[in-house]
Amino acid sequence: MIATYIRVEFARHFRDGYNLVFALLLPAAMYFLFGNIPSYTDAEVGSGNVKFYLMVSMAAYGAAVSTVAIAGTVATETMQGWGRQIALTRMTPASFVTSKMIVAATVAAASAALVFALGAGTGARVTDGWMWVVSYLIILAGAMIFACYGIGVGMLFKSESALGLASGLMVFFAFFGNVFMPLEGGMLDAARFTPMFGYVALARYPMLHSIPAGGDMAPDPLWIPVTSVVAWAIIFALFAVFATRKAKARQ
């Protein structure tokens, strides 16, 4: 059942060019806009330069938004009656969530890879090659948290505006999660409790871990972003399963 549904999902999304263009090109355009400011993005930070820092930030944001855009289409499917068809099959809510996450992960991987390719071509650099690989893998794994979030919002709010709501909140999460601009003081303390903070901080950690504590742009101790990611993963996973079961019960 999962394999069949995944094939159907890929075929449907490839026919829907708008979602793919939004998911793949928007984060790349954002990096190209903010990651090529002369005399600023070539400055050194941690074990690399500002371009690498921005590349990781934009790739993480793009991957997260991609998963929300793909997984959140469940709202439209529900309105069109597709949810009733799924409810008549042997497919469990957990299987439905898993299928959506696999499709979303594939699109997120392509989105992040495109931003990384642009970064490599425009001078993003770090001292060790393993940092590219580790940051990329963290981005892909962390993006799955937001696939659950997209599914939960889509199933709970059965309207076409659900996806817009989910995507709009992602912008809020990014601004107040220390993604687009460095925060300080009380704003930074509050940001540590937002969904995007731990995810992006963990992706940046490989290049920033060499900065001594108290230094400019020094990262938090590793346990802080790890705890944040685990906590939000549990919250969003439970939210997705709960919302899916509630929607299926109504059908």
Three-state secondary structure string covering 173-237: HHHCCCCCCCCCHHHHHHHCCCHHHHHHHHHHHHHHCCCCCCCCCCCCCCHHHHHHHHHHHHHHH
Whole-structure pTM value: 0.86
The stretch 145-158 carries a mean pLDDT of 81
Confidence of residue 3 (pLDDT cuts 50, 70, 90): confident
Looking at the chain, the whole-number percentage of residues with pLDDT higher than 70 is 82
- pLDDT at residue 251 greater than cutoff 60: no
Enter the tokens of residue 238. Answer: 């439970």
Enter the tokens of residue 123. Answer: 């001078």
Which helix (H) or strand (E) element contains residue 49? strand 48-49
pLDDT value of residue 55: 93
Confidence of residue 233 (pLDDT cuts 50, 70, 90): very high
- pLDDT at residue 227 greater than cutoff 90: yes
- pLDDT at residue 244 greater than cutoff 90: no
- pLDDT at residue 80 greater than cutoff 70: no
- pLDDT at residue 228 greater than cutoff 80: yes
Q: How many CB atoms lie within 10 A of CB 209?
A: 13
- For residues 61 and 51, give the distance between their C-alpha atoms in angstroms, rounded to a whole number: 15
Four-residue CA torsion sign, 203, 195, 211, 115: positive
Tell me the residue type at 11. Answer: A
- For residues 95 and 241, give the distance between their C-alpha atoms in angstroms, rounded to a whole number: 10
The stretch 56-79 carries a mean pLDDT of 81
Among 5-19, 110-124, 229-243, the range scoring the smallest mean pLDDT is 5-19
Taking CA 149 as the corner, what is the angle to CA 14 and CA 115, rounded to the nearest 5 degrees?
55
- Average pLDDT along the chain: 82
Four-residue CA torsion sign, 181, 185, 187, 188: positive
Enter the tokens of residue 94. Answer: 């957990």
